[in-house]
Structure 1
């Protein structure tokens, strides 16, 4: 597969990160397999998460093909980029075709990225997960790798103004050990296990985060259980 678009997009993003002096830290990227197919399941706190999740796979020299809603592919600017990077459009009225394409890509040795929460978590905890990530990994016979992002919500998240030019923001990218779902597994149970592992990774990323609120502060970007002003999960 020719990679004419992905490399320059990655280079442009890295240049922007340097200009903004984003303090990006990648942890345990050795869990990303260097060959063969794999499903990456990432938490979702920002509209920019696909960029940073994809960044977590670059040390393994892998490009992630994300599953994204069809409307993005129809955008006059984003659409050509998404198609050029060989991401996978998801039509929610015909989801089986997208699922089948993702499984075919995995069997062909590609890395497919999904956000199993399906939408941004405004509580900044891991929401309930859809079962697709587990089912795809099982059907394709590939590892399932969790990733947790933290800090990206400070740049652009649901219900908050964009701050894409904000400088010096720390971003944590934590990669977890792979699991190997089997077609005979209890899908609901395996999905619950994935959610628990993603939340553990997120907890680690939050503990490691170098920015902390001042005394008496209740910042919007922290979850309620850490003293922040984000909405409760319910």
Structure 2
């Protein structure tokens, strides 16, 4: 038994079960072997704890690279812990550093690991679902791994029990040859978000959460459009090699 397994089974998962009493549905949808992306909505800081605790396999998350730098005794402990449980360092500065960080995530998926991702890129400012970033599509198309959608409810602290619903894996291998086609990346991302939306039951906003958060901080009003579900009104791009 490795350190991660000991920590998860002996401490982490029991603590989450006692503290939050989450209800978990659909864990049979998580592939038992091989790489996979676990994509979830993001409404609370607890999400990053609830999902890996309830997942039947070991899962890793990308985390900002600054957390891996030991500048003090506390940060040394944090950095050692993150490395011990196989969290992936992600450089957010842009350019070559960010590209190299993405390679780390790609390597993990190709090695058969499960990687968790929040396609919205940040927590929802108001409990609604926001537009997904295309990083989830880029990772899925580059590696060919399935995407397991996860719908989270009630993970904000309160009297209601959190609900974690795993959905059937999504296979986008038909678009593997599309490269960086923007229409394909948006379609795949919207399909992932639509599956998460169906599991979470949230209202959907056709806007990026970061933009809304910035506007709120600056005291600006911002007009947003609510749709029935992600991708509404968009036509799926043709599959590469098809005659459509």
TM-score bin, normalised by smaller chain: 0.7 to 0.9
- Aligned partners of 1:106, 1:53: CA distance in 2, in Å? 18
TM-score, normalisation: structure 2 = 0.71
Indicate the SS of the match to 1:154: coil
Relative to structure 1, is the Cα distance of residues 81 and 191 closer, same or farther in structure 2, using a 3 angstrom cutoff? Answer: same
From 50, 53, 65, the equivalent of 1:52 is: 50
User: Are 1:136 and 2:139 an aligned pair?
Assistant: yes
- 1:73 alignment counterpart: 68
Alignment of 1:129-168 (within 5 A): 129-154=132-157
Relative to structure 1, is the Cα distance of residues 48 and 80 closer, same or farther in structure 2, using a 3 angstrom cutoff? Answer: farther
Task: Judge conservation of contact 2:59–2:116 (CA < 8 Å) in 1.
Answer: yes
1:25 Cα deviation after fit: 0.9
From 174, 177, 183, the equivalent of 2:168 is: 177
Q: Which runs of 5+ in 1 are unaligned?
A: 156-167, 205-231
1:18 Cα deviation after fit: 4.8
- 1:87 alignment counterpart: 87
Indicate the SS of the match to 1:117: coil
- 2:227 alignment counterpart: none
Task: Judge conservation of contact 2:68–2:82 (CA < 8 Å) in 1.
Answer: yes
Relative to structure 1, is the Cα distance of residues 233 and 115 closer, same or farther in structure 2, using a 3 angstrom cutoff? Answer: farther
Indicate the SS of the match to 1:123: coil
CA radius of gyration, larger in: 2
Q: Which runs of 5+ in 2 are unaligned?
A: 70-74, 179-183, 203-221, 225-244
- 2:240 alignment counterpart: none
Q: How many corresponding residue pairs?
A: 191
1:125 Cα deviation after fit: 1.9
Task: Judge conservation of contact 2:8–2:53 (CA < 8 Å) in 1.
Answer: no
Alignment of 1:1-80 (within 5 A): 3-20=2-19, 22-58=20-56, 62-74=57-69, 75-80=75-80
- Aligned partners of 2:194, 2:36: CA distance in 1, in Å? 19
Task: Judge conservation of contact 1:23–1:170 (CA < 8 Å) in 2.
Answer: yes
